[in-house]
Structure 1
């Protein structure tokens, strides 16, 4: 039985992930912006606990890390929450996963939600200082963050997952990928045995894929972490 934190667990892939984990007998701590969102997803009676806060607000992200640590050391943290467009893209898709990673007690496994669209992200990293960043940029950054964590913390299994284009509220009704397959890789990486590679993978439907070359570049990773530290005031350590 694993203790797993899932961010953005109120709907879509996060809800499906949390439901699959609870059905598998695992202890889930679910994150949502507000407790009422979890009640809508019929999770509250099935989970170990909940933490609530807005991932777009830096102070609330710090508070969420403190709330999460009250449950002890997690076996896995699934950074699922994301937004497709608007002013909060960078904050939710990149900055919040970074701050939670840096401030929470180090888990055994970390899973970051990426996207095939990360391959269109800009590698100049200007999006980290701009007023807004594109979805593509934010997913390039979080994919590189996953790889950087894998290199810095080799004892932790750190992976990025492309869930595919699935028919959630974000993906829209025209999405062509299998909704069930959209969360199965995250559940497997969080709880499975004999994951190979142990860390540093970029996955699509339980198969390792080639990520954007920049995500594997130590210099790019180092610059990304330095800029994230400067932007958030939080050191990865």
Structure 2
């Protein structure tokens, strides 16, 4: 049995991930923006706990880290929460995963949600500070973050996952990929003993793929982490 945190779990991929893990007997803590997001789900009884906070706000992200920390060290953290074309993409998709990672005890496994759209993202990190980052940019950046962390801490693995274009609120009802398949890789990476590669994979439906070259570029990874440290005022150990 593993203790696992899933962010952005009120609906869609996050909810499916959290429920699948709970159904398999794991202790799942879910993050939602507000308690009202859970009002009609009927799922709360499956979970060990709930943490709340708007991941578009730096102070709220810090609060989420503090709430999550009360549960102890997680075996896995799945950074699922995301925003698209909202003006908050940079903060929710890249800054929040970074800051939660920097502030929380290091888990056994880190899993970050990417997207095939990361392949058209820009390496111009000035877009983070100006708030002009596109969804594609933020997914490139979080993919680079995931792969940068793959060998940073002993005892912690890190992966990025493309869940596919699935019919969620973000993906839209016409999305062609299977919704259930969209969360299976995350649950598998969080709980399977012998994943190969053990760390540093970019995954799509349990198979590794080649990400944008910048995602594995150590110079870009270093610039990204430096930018995030400056932006948040929080260093990465």
What TM-score does the superposition give when structure 1 sets the normalisation length?
0.98
The residue correspondences of 1:1-237 to structure 2 (distance < 5 A) are 1-237=1-237
State the TM-score, normalized to the length of structure 2: 0.98
Q: After the TM superposition, which parts of structure 1 deviate over 6 Å for at least 4 consecutive aligned residues?
A: none
Gaps of 5+ in 2: none
In the aligned structure 2, how far is the partner of 1:143 from the partner of 1:199? 13
Whole-angstrom CA distance in 2 between matches of 1:44 and 1:74: 19
CA distance in 2, matches of 1:171, 1:153: 34
Could you say what secondary structure the match of 1:45 adopts?
helix
Paired residue secondary structure (2:45): coil
Counterparts of 2:110 and 2:93, CA distance in 1: 15
- Mapped contact 1:159–1:200 kept (Cα < 8 A): yes
Q: What's the offset of the Cα at 1:163?
A: 0.1
Aligned-residue RMSD, C-alpha = 0.9
- Unpaired segments ≥5 residues, structure 1: none
